[in-house]
Structure 1
Amino acid sequence: METLESELTCPICLELFEDPLLLPCAHSLCFNCAHRILVSHCSSNKPLESISAFQCPTCRYVITLNHRGLEGLKRNVTLQNIIHRFQKASVSGPNSPSESRRAPGLSGGHRPYSSSGGGSSGSHSARSSPAQPSSHQHTATMSLEHRISCQFCEQDPPREAVKTCVTCEVSYCDRCLRATHPNKKPFTSHRLVEPVHDAHLRGLTCLEHENEKVNMYCIVDDQLICALCKLVGRHREHQVSSFSERFDKLKQTLENNLTNLVKRNSELENQMAKLIQICQQVEVNTAMHEAKLVEECDELVEIIRQRKQIIAVKIKESKVMKLRKLAQQMANCRQCLERSGALITQAEHSLKENDHARFLQTARNVAERVAMATASSQVLIPDVNLNEAFDNFALDFSREKKILEGLDYLTAPSPPSIRDELCTASHDTITVHWTSEDEFSVTSYELQYTIYTGQTNFISQPFKLDPKTAHKKLRLSNDCLTMEKDESSLKKSHTPERFSSTGSYGAAGSVFIDSGCHYWEVLLGASTWYAVGVAYKSAPKNEWSGKNSSSWVLSRCNNNFMVRHNGKEMLVEASHQLRRLGVLLDYDNNSLSFYDAMNSQHLHTFEVSFLLPVAPTFMIWNKSVMILSGLPVPDFVDCPEEHQEGMMTLCRQQDSPYVSGMKGCH
């Protein structure tokens, strides 16, 4: 009991929980203690409602309050009921009269009962003689929400009831209970419970038989019934159960549902808190973007204002220059007009002279001056070579206007469509092909996930036989590790990557290798006609491997062993009992070697400048072979430089090198 009491003690007041709150961290706290915590965090000039969070005193988890404050937290009803039961058990004890009279239904389980009068007997729990209740019992009774008075007291006001007799349907105080229910038959069969209201007792009466008490539960109709309902009523054919059984099931279901509901509410509150946080972040981001928009637009306006001032100054300077030139020309014209006017006046005066002698004396000088003025008029009168237009200042902001009208947020491109049939993967390289519907889509990019600069990788890459490349007359088994000639297997569809040569049946490995050092072995069994090696993906599939420049193989034709590449063949000395053929591909050091793994014998090494990823290649003409991949390099395999003798250098330049890394192509 002491351990249970410590579990029911508040960590603040060190008393039993009173009106406990269920915190989101699953701990509990008294309502008043939580209120005192908020008061301690509140300054003198702030209202209590301004406190929106506090820490759990047990685990220091931050409890966030909504606008309802502490009222927004859930009450721990289950804990409160446990405390009530603990208090009753502590003050009563298992041998006390109050405990022996407690109804099974309110002490953890129900038991059926039948109707009886004040002195009738039935199958009820026996009770001990009533005893004087202690002060703790009165304190527990006063903690009920509504005070229940004794219905048998003659004094006014009546004393507080301590028990309710379900059989008599009357609530008694301690004195009246001892007087009316002595520890003798038939009163020992009366069922006493904690004080309850009359409405609770009336609810225990059968709905169809008013004078009968309910004592069983109809599972079919899901309702309380009495014995008459089961014997002669409409429930006689229905399945029924006892109160205790139904009570346990329903209580367990309710507790489970309540637990799930509390859990869901907690999840919803967490989700709500996240949504509130997101809303706050949206507000912050919106304000940030609005400020950024205002800043960028202000910068654009400032640039336009500065450019406006600069262009306006240039226009004014051009205006002053044009007006200065025009004023100079106007002054020149004015001087010409003044000289011409004086000469015209003098000539007109001479024309008025009628005396021939005087006219001849004066007119010759005037005539010379007029002739000279007329001859030089084209020189004296300046040409007007200026106009009102500003040809050097053509203002055209149409392009800038379109750019300004198109101001908007940058949008992410639509997701591309990956073309699986064009994608390839090798030891450490993935080539991805895709298509995009965007007008300005990315055509390609190269991504290097890691760059290895240490020692050469001697961990072989495991692989299997690729069914998509296997010849129609080959059957793959043993998890695609064994290939066998099968003339009856003709149901495979033809694809570009499938081997299709006549008389030779091939398959490729499931990987493409472009770096590292890799070793695998081929268990040849009883096969006497085969070819093993590597090839580019572009190698022809309708001819023997080694007949082209894209494949390198070691083959056996009955009793002859030979290596073949680009149509060139060279005999190799090997045992006719060769059963395990080892293949070492050192891509980084440009070599492909073959070994008799059983006898630790080197057979041949190709020195090849690989330009593209290669895939292991296997061909058979009879029997079957099995591959063992991902093997460590055996001890008998030394550095390829030790076998320089007998090497055949066969390589061909490709159009473009293969770029290692992860590469995307449009």
Structure 2
Amino acid sequence: MSLSLEYPHSRKQDTMDNLEKQLICPICLEIFTKPVVILPCQHNLCRKCANDIFQASNPYLASRGSTVTSGGRFRCPSCRHEVVLDRHGVYGLQRNLLVENIIDMYKQESSSSKPEPAVCKAEGPMCEQHTEERINIYCVTCATPTCSLCKVFGAHKDCQVAPLNTIYDSQKTELTDCISMLVGNNDRIQGIISQLEESCRTVEENGRRQKSRICETFDHLYALLEERKREMSLLINAEQDEKLNYIRGLRRRYSDHLEAMAKIVETGIRTMEEPEMAIFLQNAKPLLQQIAEGSNTSHLEKLERGYENMDHFTTSFTKERQALLSIDFIKEDEPMEETTTSTNLPKPVQQNPLLPQTPQFPVSPPTQSLAPAADLPTQVTQHSSLDPKVLQKMEPLLIILMFTCNIYI
């Protein structure tokens, strides 16, 4: 008979417990406090909690000293959806009257029903040294939960102890603050990732613009310059690829860090929902250590100012144009001049490295090097039907042309 009466009560209690879980605010981890506001993503928050998280996400607005914050945005703590507020601030969010009515009904039902003693209810974790003793105190010296017998004549008899609820409240408050700080830190990292993505687009646009300028300039030169145009474009591609690889690698590191921090936040939220104080305290310390380590982003590199700029690729063809305009026929009374390419060759310009070497993202140099200028007269002879005397006249000019046609960095 008692079992039949006890079973409906147990089902009713389970229903009330499940309902209570649905009425927990994800910020204060308590039952919603009226007024309850509903976000555009259909999640609910206490208006006070919504205002607190908004001020934490927009400190420059809260610093104005106004109690009613207008405008701005913040992220939903449940789904990370961005909530954009109008001029009324959090007071412009719609109230969820249905949830408020359910809260009233739940409180009325909870106060009217008297809880009965639970049958075979677990009493929490037991002490490892004294298996029949329940963990009921906290050793401050050793920073671990323990039982009363350990304090009287056990391993913690000379240690300082405190009630579980005292340490529970302090560490719960500390963990709540750390989670709030980590959520704000994750938002900042998300902003950095967005900036890195914009930097990738800027580098790609700068690379396309520089290649377009190179191609536009080389369209006015002879077919002999087509190979050099391709090789100059390779230089821009090499720097563009190196910068993109570096920025994308940096973005991956920030994304990995953000994903790891999001997992810690989820673990922290699950820990906050732990009803047993002893189990909570067993899990809180390592979690706090992970949060402290994860909050430090000093090991993540920052993108240098002006790193996306590629305006250092410039060209100068003034001397080459003048040389081309000076080409003329060989006059009959003009003596033939011998040209010695081995003594008149100008020294090639030594190019500076495109970027400082980055160990994390090395970039291989182009597989093909620039064609030696000494071979150009031979190439002209092989691919030209001009008179040999004309070619001999043009040989020093072509040598100067090809060696001065460089990108100055």
Larger Rg: 1
Q: Which has the higher contact order (CA 8 A, sep 6+)?
A: 2
Higher helix share: 2
More strand by share: 1
TM-score with structure 2 length normalisation?
0.38
